[in-house]
Structure 1
């Protein structure tokens, strides 16, 4: 499998989410092509969108009989009018609330409103509250065009949506969420499910998208597959079902030397756990040999519970020379610290020619003395990314894709910007890869150390840096999701290690 596998142009697939992610302006061009070049009238696309959403609604909430549909003043509102008409036609009680000046509805959206009214539907103007006793709310306020903070009356309507207890279905995008960055534009609807039309929007999977979007469904609205050839996706979504295909085949004749030797450097006094987690994760992700270079104070007992790890105490950089000579890949940072001991080891590693995985305190040392490395893989969380770029964490989170691309431009190699919707960015024109798995239970100490070990192990087994990053991030997230089956709260990093063996062996790739 070549390293280009995850960068192919992916078309929507029936029955599951497509892998291509697009920005708002690209989706708008798709809309124009569908009607202008392929001859599908805008009103027909709106009818298909409303019908697709209603079909999903009936499948997801078959017992819902009392609906509230909040419509805005654009085409997203028109989709809501179609859904409301169909729901009334099947005997549902529908409270349709128009937010914003109804006279601003134009074209197909106005036609859809008129069709709803002609079928006996009533339009209520937003008065500051929602009806009681609802089974379901439909968010049809904003689509992909939102570029500024939400103001009233829309902000008040979104707040009311979030305060009521019924599930919420968003049409195309949760209202208030930026379609490209996943940034909350002042306020956003926190929905139960989102059905995205024609193309998946990047903002659903980055920034705050994973927090607000709920379950994601997709409908291509029956547009021709040729339409997608007009745009190169802004990013590529990945998951373990897809990334597991990157793992190398294992010959029956392989021995441990064929599976790579990982050297993991870290573990200052008081921080031995970080390097131990990374080492065990590397073993479980398939590395043939793992050596830990750590502070002599705890080297003698670090591998008591995992004797397969080789542990060597190192006092200074000179002690690294014989260890690095035997290694295929070096991972540095877990528990390294930033004092003279850790700094000396970091400076030595920077002179070596090995492929590197750089994490934790090694990233902080890099931020203090920036340099560009052609064959390293940096794995910052948002705070570390902010220090590397000299900006605030909020600025990093405001547009995580741009932050990952800026990091790659400044520091070279491959970047893994960790967090919900972890992003892998290799050298352009490689597109960002966004992991769509993982869960909030993984927000706990040691998770990054486990990821470092996984990526280093995959790199040592022969994967190119980008592939090791993509596969490692998705394997880590899939293991987190399996471990969270017993509960997210209280999930700890070592719980993931127990899941790696089955997943990394290619079993149960589809979760």
Structure 2
């Protein structure tokens, strides 16, 4: 079969829930006359071509097959491997009398060319590639028994793994590991990108993601509104138009950054410098008088004012277009007074760090603010545990937006942006573990606030800021993830935000 290969360089930006992908599949079958077995054959053919391209020297493969359509895709891969002269073994988990419909037809086609099916009794030796065709996108309960045993055995090997549609054990909607999940080298997914591949724990299990629509007509996709938007800087940089040749600094926003209690001055410095590198016209830092005199040494472009009392903020607030509050704010009487002075303002706000912790103590609704919690701060805001937030990050972001208003940026692997508009939430799949470092969140605060000050609406600024920050982190990580510091992210911002 000469099926198109997945496009490695350009994944779709539309993400769907498992139920929506099943609906798209039904529309293709029932309304566009594409037999289900044909879609299964296309999926298996695409997966087999990925296997041959990615591992051209592989001679022995083992397909671990379940009893549903995911297993049916696996039978196609095994059949095509046999036809090409490769050694292919199918290790079956589940009753072979259970496959129905297309999966049963695919199994029969594999047997018709002499393919044997072995009950799973452990992984064979001398295998070059494992194909994960155990569990598909319908998984809703923890993986147990022989299924869990097989997944653990796969993960204990150093052999590459090709997962079909989704790594077995990963929840297709939340990215949650259902007890145990396959750690894939490559996941080739079909018809619609599953949102769970970009959320939660997925980044540790999905490997490289490849996508094929299986030649389904484009009109099919008009029947489902995407559930989540995938965002990246290549797409989001369009939010920043070219600058006028007669522009002046006042055209690009005056940002006021509030924070920096004694001993915590670095956070506001990082936020302020990140804002400058993201194009803010003017940046003023309002901080504790103890270090105000020397905070901008080495970065004289930052204006710094010491504030002893909350009232000292008033003249600074009058000149500001956007306020970012929280980096290094602390929860002493000083920090609390500044937060109380700012939280009821009608000026656009970016709220981070200890300002979020203070908001959790005295919850209120905001119309024009962007909240940027990490999972621990989100848990305090919602009155739940961090584990509960991570169990369903999308639901946590939705609840935060519902309870506090404005736009919510839930940081972490697969940072989410949930706004109060009618647009679907967004997830950023860029970024890397090197960004798990002190000050990276303060940099993000400065980036988002700078973009807000340059005229972007709140949700637009949040999406663009998250994407720019992640892209800068990936540039910084080219020299290695371990040892990356927040200032490295700042250094990469300028070359990315060229407009």
User: Is residue 2:395 matched to residue 1:435?
Assistant: no
The aligned counterpart of 1:509 is none
The aligned counterpart of 1:381 is 374
Looking at structure 2, the residues matched to 275 and 134 of structure 1 have their Cα atoms a distance apart, in angstroms, of: 54
User: Is residue 2:45 matched to residue 1:73?
Assistant: no
User: Is residue 2:85 matched to residue 1:91?
Assistant: yes
Q: CA deviation at 1:248?
A: 2.9
| Correspondent of 2:409 among 416, 441, 445 | 416
The aligned counterpart of 2:41 is 47
- Report the TM-score, using the length of structure 2 for normalisation: 0.98
- 1:323-362 equivalences under 5 Å are 323-362=316-355
Describe the superposition over 1:17-37 as per-residue Cα deviations: whole angstroms up to 9, x where unpaired.
111000011111111111111
Cα 1:408/1:380, change in 2 over 3 Å: same
Q: CA deviation at 1:353?
A: 1.9
User: Is residue 2:280 matched to residue 1:287?
Assistant: yes
Looking at structure 2, the residues matched to 410 and 316 of structure 1 have their Cα atoms a distance apart, in angstroms, of: 30
Q: CA deviation at 1:15?
A: 5.8
Secondary structure (helix, strand or coil) at the match of 1:153 reads: helix
Describe the superposition over 1:315-351 as per-residue Cα deviations: whole angstroms up to 9, x where unpaired.
0111101111111000000000011000000000013
2:7 touches 2:212 (CA, 8 Å); kept in 1? Answer: no
Q: CA deviation at 1:428?
A: 4.4
The aligned counterpart of 2:441 is 448
User: Is residue 2:271 matched to residue 1:278?
Assistant: yes
- 1:233-312 equivalences under 5 Å are 233-312=226-305
Looking at structure 1, the residues matched to 139 and 345 of structure 2 have their Cα atoms a distance apart, in angstroms, of: 48
Cα 1:216/1:14, change in 2 over 3 Å: closer
Q: CA deviation at 1:352?
A: 2.1
The aligned counterpart of 2:478 is 485
Secondary structure (helix, strand or coil) at the match of 1:139 reads: strand
The aligned counterpart of 2:465 is 472
Following TM superposition, the consecutive aligned residue runs of length 4 or more in structure 1 with deviations greater than 3 angstroms are 12-15
Secondary structure (helix, strand or coil) at the match of 1:102 reads: coil
Looking at structure 2, the residues matched to 72 and 13 of structure 1 have their Cα atoms a distance apart, in angstroms, of: 27
The aligned counterpart of 2:103 is 109
| Correspondent of 2:391 among 391, 398, 406 | 398
Looking at structure 1, the residues matched to 59 and 244 of structure 2 have their Cα atoms a distance apart, in angstroms, of: 58
The aligned counterpart of 2:3 is none
Describe the superposition over 1:168-199 as per-residue Cα deviations: whole angstroms up to 9, x where unpaired.
11100000001000111111111111111000
Q: CA deviation at 1:92?
A: 1.1
2:435 touches 2:473 (CA, 8 Å); kept in 1? Answer: yes
User: Is residue 2:116 matched to residue 1:122?
Assistant: yes
Secondary structure (helix, strand or coil) at the match of 2:97 reads: helix
Looking at structure 1, the residues matched to 458 and 241 of structure 2 have their Cα atoms a distance apart, in angstroms, of: 13
Q: CA deviation at 1:430?
A: 2.3
Q: CA deviation at 1:254?
A: 0.5
The aligned counterpart of 1:363 is 356
> Unpaired runs of 5+ in structure 2?
1-5
Aligned residues: 494
| Correspondent of 1:170 among 149, 163, 180 | 163
1:66 touches 1:134 (CA, 8 Å); kept in 2? Answer: yes
| Correspondent of 1:82 among 76, 80, 89 | 76
1:248 touches 1:463 (CA, 8 Å); kept in 2? Answer: no
Q: CA deviation at 1:429?
A: 2.4
Secondary structure (helix, strand or coil) at the match of 1:416 reads: strand
Q: CA deviation at 1:114?
A: 1.2
Cα 1:70/1:13, change in 2 over 3 Å: closer
Secondary structure (helix, strand or coil) at the match of 2:174 reads: coil
Q: CA deviation at 1:399?
A: 0.8
The aligned counterpart of 1:5 is none
| Correspondent of 1:56 among 32, 50, 58 | 50
Looking at structure 2, the residues matched to 410 and 363 of structure 1 have their Cα atoms a distance apart, in angstroms, of: 13
User: Is residue 2:494 matched to residue 1:501?
Assistant: yes
User: Is residue 2:128 matched to residue 1:154?
Assistant: no
Secondary structure (helix, strand or coil) at the match of 2:315 reads: helix
Looking at structure 1, the residues matched to 143 and 208 of structure 2 have their Cα atoms a distance apart, in angstroms, of: 23
Describe the superposition over 1:75-118 as per-residue Cα deviations: whole angstroms up to 9, x where unpaired.
00000000111111111111210111111111111111111111
RMSD (CA atoms): 1.1
Looking at structure 1, the residues matched to 293 and 381 of structure 2 have their Cα atoms a distance apart, in angstroms, of: 34
The aligned counterpart of 2:138 is 145
2:8 touches 2:210 (CA, 8 Å); kept in 1? Answer: no
Q: CA deviation at 1:124?
A: 1.1
1:67 touches 1:92 (CA, 8 Å); kept in 2? Answer: yes
| Correspondent of 1:229 among 216, 222, 241 | 222
| Correspondent of 2:418 among 419, 425, 431 | 425
Looking at structure 1, the residues matched to 8 and 289 of structure 2 have their Cα atoms a distance apart, in angstroms, of: 57
| Correspondent of 1:195 among 188, 203, 206 | 188
Looking at structure 1, the residues matched to 309 and 58 of structure 2 have their Cα atoms a distance apart, in angstroms, of: 67
